[in-house]
């Protein structure tokens, strides 16, 4: 382990799962590096208030929570680097991890780079992110208490979000580009009998407008070809997620949507590669769950690294004889 670019564990992704994995791996004594392409903390930094994370009864901002996680992992010796991983290759004992900055070799890899919300890619979406535009009804719904909001989408996530929002808001407009929902029948039944929900069919959002916060949506009816406006205080985008697994398909097994198969110990189909958080198949996509995944992955990694280092030691000893 003399080479500075040789590690025992490399963690790819700096959200709650990655930072927790880094904390546990470093505390266990593994020479660990966490690589994050963007902001440490992941999607949680966009949440103005996290109320459902244990230990913070009054809530805490997503940026503060992620900062505290980063500080704690750093305290126990976790190395971090801002770069993007572009390829992972498997060798006999080591994996080669290629980044935009440099190349590393490591005995193990923990993939925690999550998934990204599919964007509308319309004017105003980025500008009002955190100021009326949200991708998480569970995280931000309470901020719109007694106001009118809209949800874009027609699948299970969109309808689940819309129903969740009815607990807080005065009215929810569900905007869908088709004339029928794709959500499961039980969700549709609940949605159609919920008095706070109003459906706008065959329609897309063209632009999000406002001052400091969202005030208006510019809409387009695909059937009538009419343009019209809708006054709302918030827009929840629920048109799907895209897992960040494009660089790992050559080394691990993915499901048909690109998420990673893992077992109960967060081990993937390939020995030495683990995955945790939103990027794994059937993730709960909540901070508390990602933290648990990260801890499990790190402990599994520690056990794996010990076994591999024992094998290397025995092999080196036999070669010297």
Query: 170: how many CB neighbours lie within 10 A of its CB?
Result: 13
Length of the chain, in residues? 321
Cβ proximity of 278 and 15 under 8 Å: yes
3 state DSSP class of 260 = strand
Active site residue 139: yes
Which residue do the tokens 């000893």 mark?
317
Distance CA 85, CA 299 (A): 23
Q: Which of 9, 58, 74, 140 is catalytic?
A: 140
Q: Which of 9, 74, 113, 136 is catalytic?
A: 136
Could you tell me which residues are beta bridge partners of residue 175? 152, 200
Helix (H) or strand (E) segment spanning residue 253 = none
* Token pair of 300 as six digits: 């599994």
The Cα-based distances of 186 to 67, 82, 182 in angstroms read: 40, 44, 11
Cα dihedral 95→97→98→103 (10° resolution):
-90
Q: Which of 9, 139, 161, 293 is catalytic?
A: 139
Alpha helices, DSSP H only, in the chain? Answer: 16-27, 62-75, 137-140, 156-165, 185-192, 287-320
Distance CA 290, CA 286 (A): 6
Could you tell me which residues are beta bridge partners of residue 3? none
- Residues designated catalytic: 136, 139-140
């Amino acid at each position: 382990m003399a080479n500075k670019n040789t590690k025992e564990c490399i963690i790819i992704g700096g959200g709650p799962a990655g930072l927790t994995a880094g904390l546990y791996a470093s505390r266990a004594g593994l020479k660990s590096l966490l690589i994050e392409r963007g902001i440490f903390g992941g999607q949680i930094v966009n949440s103005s208030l996290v109320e459902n994370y244990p230990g913070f009864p009054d809530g805490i901002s997503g940026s503060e929570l992620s900062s505290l996680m980063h500080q704690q992992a750093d305290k126990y010796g976790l190395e971090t680097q801002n770069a993007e991983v572009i390829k992972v290759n498997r060798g006999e004992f080591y994996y080669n991890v290629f980044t935009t900055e440099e190349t590393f070799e490591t005995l193990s890899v923990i993939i925690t780079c999550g998934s990204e919300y599919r964007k509308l890619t319309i004017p105003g979406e980025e500008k009002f992110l955190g100021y009326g535009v949200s991708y998480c009804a569970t995280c931000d719904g309470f901020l719109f208490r007694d106001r009118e909001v809209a949800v874009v989408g027609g699948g299970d996530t969109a309808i689940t979000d819309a129903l969740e929002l009815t607990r807080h808001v005065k009215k929810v407009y569900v905007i869908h580009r088709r004339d029928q929902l794709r959500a499961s029948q039980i969700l549709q039944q609940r949605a159609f009998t919920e008095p706070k929900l109003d459906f706008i069919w065959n329609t897309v959002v063209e632009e999000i407008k406002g001052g400091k916060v969202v005030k208006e949506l510019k809409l387009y009816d695909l059937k009538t070809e009419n343009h019209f406006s809708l006054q709302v205080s918030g827009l929840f985008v629920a048109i799907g997620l895209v897992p960040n697994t494009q660089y790992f398909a050559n080394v691990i097994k993915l499901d048909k949507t690109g998420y990673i198969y893992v077992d109960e110990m967060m081990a993937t189909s390939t020995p030495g590669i683990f995955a945790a958080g939103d990027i794994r198949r059937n993730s709960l996509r909540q901070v508390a769950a990602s933290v648990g995944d990260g801890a499990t992955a790190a402990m599994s990694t520690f056990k794996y690294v010990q076994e591999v280092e024992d094998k290397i030691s025995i092999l080196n000893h036999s070669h010297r004889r």
